[in-house]
Amino acid sequence: MTREWWKDGVVYQIYSSSFKDSNGDGIGDIPGITSELDYIKSLGVDIIWMCPSYKSPQYDMGYDLSDFRDVYEKYGTVADVDALIKGCHDRGMRVIFDRQSSSSKKNPRHDWYIWRPARYLFGGSVWEWDENVGEYYLHLWAKEQPDLNWDNPEVRKAIYDNAMRFWPDKGADGLIRESRFGY
C-alpha cells in the first residue's frame, strides 16, 4: 500500500512577509520565495506550506482575508503565485496553501455570519455590536474578521468555489486548515 504524499513529506512552512524581500520594501514576498526554491529543495523539503498570502486588510496577519482569488499586493500577484507553483513542481516539490453581511438584516449575505439580537446583560469579547443591523456578530479573533456561518449552504458553496477550488485548479497541490487550538 502506498502512503499519501502529504503523510511522509518534509514540510517547510513559510510566512511570505518574513521570508525574503525581493524588491527592497522591507517586506518578504512571493518572488523572494521563488528565488530561493533551489535552496529550499537542498534542505530536503518536499512540500512548501504557504501561510495566508491572500488579499487582506491585515488585521490578523492575513487570516482575515478579503479575496480568496487574489494576493495581498505587498506579497505579489497571482502571476507570482503561478510562478511559485511552477517552480516547486519543476523541482519535484509540492505547495499547499493555508486558508482560515452587515448592511442590513435583509441583505442576502446577512446569514453568512453569526448574529444575535441585543440583550440587556449580553457580554463577552467575541461579540461585536453592529448599528446597521441592531445585532451582535460573532468574531473569535479580530472584530474586523466576523466568523462565517457554516450552517448556511450559500456560505459553504462560496467558500468551496472560491477558496477550495481556485488554487488547486491553478496547480496548488493542496490546502491546509491551520487551527490555533491544535485540532
Residue-wise pLDDT for 123-134, tens only, equals 456 788 888 888
User: 137, 113, 118, 141: which is closest to 127 by C-alpha?
Assistant: 137
Q: What share of the chain is helix, strand, coil (3-state, %, to 5)?
A: 30, 20, 50
Q: Which domains does the chain possess? A: 5-100+153-176 (3.20.20.80)
User: Which residue in the block uniquely carries the three cell numbers 518534509?
Assistant: 10
50 or 35, which is more confident: 35
pLDDT at position 179 over 50: no
pLDDT score, position 58: 82
pLDDT score, position 141: 75
pLDDT band at residue 122, thresholds of 50, 70 and 90?
Answer: very low
pLDDT score, position 146: 85
pLDDT band at residue 120, thresholds of 50, 70 and 90?
Answer: very low
pLDDT at position 68 over 90: no
pLDDT score, position 180: 43
124 or 42, which is more confident: 42
Mean pLDDT of the chain: 81
Task: Round to whole Å and give the CA distance between 114 and 130.
Answer: 12
Please give the grid coordinates belonging to residue 14.
513559510
Alpha-carbon Rg of the chain, whole angstroms? 19
Which of 36-50, 136-150, 156-170 is most confident? 36-50
pLDDT at position 30 over 90: yes
pLDDT score, position 12: 92
The average pLDDT across 65-76 equals 87
Provide the terminal-to-terminal Cα distance of the chain, rounded to the nearest Å. 27
Apex 156 CA angle, 150 and 147, nearest 5: 40
